[in-house]
Amino acid sequence: MQVKILSIITLVAILGSSGLVQQASAEVGAAKVWMTITNTKTDTVKTLQWIPDRYLFEKSIPVDVDHLKEKKIKQIFGTTKFTFTWQFDKYEATWHHFKVVIGTKTDPSKTLRITFV
């Protein structure tokens, strides 16, 4: 009877720890995404920053913004989906008299895909 209980406890401990290890290995951390808006007439700069959580299994990390910002990003850049690498770490566009830059820092050999939602 004790051997049966001990084997059940061992099995539960092994399965439970493997589940925790998989969860811990799936999480990568946070990725900082920023956007600067420069008024070229007045040279004033506004910086917005987001830090979305990121997981290895995600193909595209969602960045939560309000509907108006999402619509404006789509209007300026033509998309709300961006792919960053260490060589290509920012997107630039001009809109009327504003220069808009969306960027992030990525590790070499890593690709970061974000989607503004």
Domain membership flag for residue 84: yes
CA 115 – CA 117 distance, rounded (Å): 6
Q: How many domains does the chain have?
A: 1
What range does the domain containing 61 cover? Answer: 28-116
Domain membership flag for residue 60: yes
100/18: higher pLDDT: 100
Please, are residues 31 and 54 in contact by the beta-carbon 8 Å criterion?
Answer: yes
Bridge-based pairing of strands 98-104 and 33-39 is antiparallel
Domain membership flag for residue 15: no
> First CA to last CA across the chain, in angstroms?
56
> For 50-89, b where at least 16 C-beta lie within 10 A, e where not — what string?
beeeeeeeeeebebebeeeebebbeebbeebebebeeeee
**pLDDT on residue 45:** 95
**pLDDT on residue 90:** 93
**pLDDT on residue 22:** 45
Structure confidence at residue 25 as a pLDDT band (50, 70, 90)? very low
Judge if pTM exceeds 0.75. no
Domain membership flag for residue 5: no
77/85: higher pLDDT: 77
Domain membership flag for residue 72: yes
Let me know the angle formed at the C-alpha of 73 by 45 and 104, rounded to the nearest 5 degrees: 65
